[in-house]
Structure 1
């Protein structure tokens, strides 16, 4: 099961992105909010996405949903509990930041929910009914996830091991190549504090 992907965007589609990870191109569906935010980044940067995999008799092919941060993934999973919402429908609802969405739910504002694409009166009431009693828990959970996600808190040695493992397993480098690439990146930028920053430094210079 795919839990995370690190890859370089090679093609942006209307609701998804094709990520090249090693010799494989993965189509990953994104929320409108994340699609807009990630697409505006400079070309060639490695993206790190949390992944959820869906495949059932109602889908023509397996579907990968990607999230740049755990807050959005948490809200997505709560929306999936709303009767009648499939994974793509739940993703499309996330056209605004997580904090704004939770504020709408906390205010019981069906009118603002209906401003989202594909949301009518009935769907808005379902969403409010499902989420309103849990909005404080969701907000607390997303805050705790953000604080414990590890960004900025891993040691250089731990970051190096994690990135080297991905370079070998997903990008096809030998262990020796991966170790050299990571060591040189950390030498150039010793203040690096996250996997994303380390990947960007490795690929900023190049891997050839």
Structure 2
């Protein structure tokens, strides 16, 4: 089984990256493809090697914590790899683990693809199995501005912002762009579309 890949990012899509490892391109599905900086630098993706009857898939993460949490999530009945990716796209390992420990169903149901019954199942199955995966904060504040990322409009921006930061833009530059950009973003707009709009504003100064 593949545990990690180390190589150069040669291609991006909204759901995956292609990593060149010694002239072999591996398609790796990940929560936020833009978390891997597209540069000349070698990147490391921690891999979950998923084998089905009809496919062999690679899911990749920039940290061990995300890799471990992903593996725990797909052990829960009813949660497949795609739903687990959505959870990790919508919340950090720290915030997801904290919500599970605190039985915070409100937080969990804000994550993509998670209803009340699934949230309850996650808590029941994983509450005692997440030691060492994340630094758990004392509480998760669902209604604060930091969780505006669960809004379907700002979810795309949250992912796009990480990709733009990887390209060298600062939080101050990106927050300024967002104020001018947010009214022109539609719910569930693809991340690459949001990035293109933001880049046009950044280039225009």
TM-score relative to the length of structure 2: 0.60
CA drift of 1:140 comes to: 2.7
- Pick from 73, 76, 80 the counterpart of residue 79 of structure 1: 73
CA drift of 1:82 comes to: 0.5
CA drift of 1:87 comes to: 2.0
Match of 2:14 in 1: 14
In the aligned structure 1, how far is the partner of 2:18 from the partner of 2:38? 16
Secondary structure of the residue aligned to 1:140 is coil
Match of 1:191 in 2: none
5+ residue gaps in structure 1? 144-208
Secondary structure of the residue aligned to 1:122 is helix
RMSD: 1.8
Aligned residues: 134
Match of 1:113 in 2: 108
In the aligned structure 2, how far is the partner of 1:127 from the partner of 1:17? 28
1:70/1:142 contact within 8 Å kept: no
**Is the radius of gyration larger for structure 1 or structure 2?**
1
1:54/1:62 contact within 8 Å kept: yes
5+ residue gaps in structure 2? 136-205
Match of 2:131 in 1: 139
Match of 1:192 in 2: none
Give the alignment of 1:53-202 within 5 angstroms.
53-57=49-53, 60-95=54-89, 96-134=91-129, 138-140=130-132
CA drift of 1:139 comes to: 3.5
**Runs of at least 4 residues of structure 1 off by over 4 A?**
none
CA drift of 1:2 comes to: 2.0
